[in-house]
Amino acid sequence: MKDYRPGYPIDERIPDQRARMEKGHLGDVELAAARVVARFTGERVVVQDDNSRAGMVDLRIDYADRPPAYVEVVTDIDQQYSRMVSGVRQHQKLPAARLGRIWYVTMGASANVNRLVRSLVSRLEVFQAADQLFDTVQAQATFSQNEHPDVRRLAADGVIELASAPAKDGEVRIYADGAGGPVGQDWAHLDDWLHEYLHHAERADVRAKLAATHAAERHVFVGMSFSTAWGAYHALSSRYSNLPELAPRLPSEVTHVWIWPWPIGRCLAWFPDRGWFEPGRHWATE
| Total structural domains within the chain | 2
Q: Where among 124, 144, 169 does a domain terminate?
A: 169
Interatomic CA distance for residues 43 and 64, integer angstroms? 7
Please give the Cα distance from 251 to 254 (Å, whole number). Answer: 6
Assess if residue 156 is contained within a domain.
yes
* pLDDT higher than 90, residue 181: no
Stretch 56-74: mean pLDDT, rounded?
97
Average pLDDT over residues 211-222: 98
Domain boundary among 169, 190, 225: 169
Q: What is the pLDDT, as a whole number, of residue 220?
A: 98
Residue among 101, 108, 89 at smallest CA distance from 127 = 101
- The domain boundary, picked from 139, 169, 199, lies at 169
Q: What is the pLDDT of residue 8?
A: 95
Is there a single domain that holds both residue 276 and residue 192?
yes
Same domain, 250 and 215: yes
Q: Do 117 and 163 share a domain, yes or no?
A: yes
User: What is the C-alpha separation between 66 and 64, in angstroms, rounded?
Assistant: 6
pLDDT of residue 21: 77
89 pLDDT exceeds 80?
no
55 within domain boundaries: yes
| pLDDT score recorded for residue 25 | 62
Domain that holds residue 139: 97-169
Shared domain check, 187 and 72: yes
- Give domain status of residue 1, yes or no: no
**Residue 242 binned pLDDT confidence (cut-offs 50, 70, 90):** very high
73 in the same domain as 186 = yes
Whether residues 192 and 109 share a domain: the answer is: no
Cβ contact 255:217 at 8 Å: yes
User: Does residue 89 lie in a domain region?
Assistant: no
Q: Which band of pLDDT confidence, cut at 50, 70 and 90, is reported for residue 207?
A: very high
Name residue 11's beta-bridge partners.
Answer: 47
> Looking at the structure, do residues 17 and 57 belong to the same domain, yes or no?
yes
Element (H, E) at 44: strand 44-47
The CA-CA-CA angle for residues 205, 211, 212, to 5°, reads 90
Average pLDDT of the segment spanning 37-47? 97
What does the angle CA 68 – CA 9 – CA 274 come to, to the nearest 5 degrees?
55
Is residue 210 included in any domain, yes or no? Answer: yes
Contact 206, 220 (CB under 8 A): yes
- The percentage of residues in the chain with a pLDDT greater than 90, rounded to a whole number, is 59
Q: Are residues 133 and 201 in the same domain?
A: no
Contact 270, 243 (CB under 8 A): no
Closest CA to 195 of 257, 261, 262, 245: 257
pLDDT at residue number 124: 93
Write down the pLDDT at residue 226.
79
Residue 84 counted as domain residue: no
pLDDT band at 2 (very low <50, low <70, confident <90, very high): low
User: What mean pLDDT, rounded, does the chain reach?
Assistant: 90
Q: What percent of the chain lies above the pLDDT cut of 70? A: 97
Contact 261, 236 (CB under 8 A): yes
The confidence band for 179, taking pLDDT boundaries of 50, 70 and 90, is low
pLDDT(185) > 80: yes
**82 with 110: CB under 8 angstroms?**
no
Whether residue 90 is contained in a domain is answered as no
33 lies in the same domain as 102: no
In this structure, which amino acid lies at residue 161?
A: E
Shared domain for 66 and 190, answered yes or no, is yes
| Residue 139 in domain | yes
By C-alpha distance, which of 273, 170, 264, 189 is closest to 226? 264
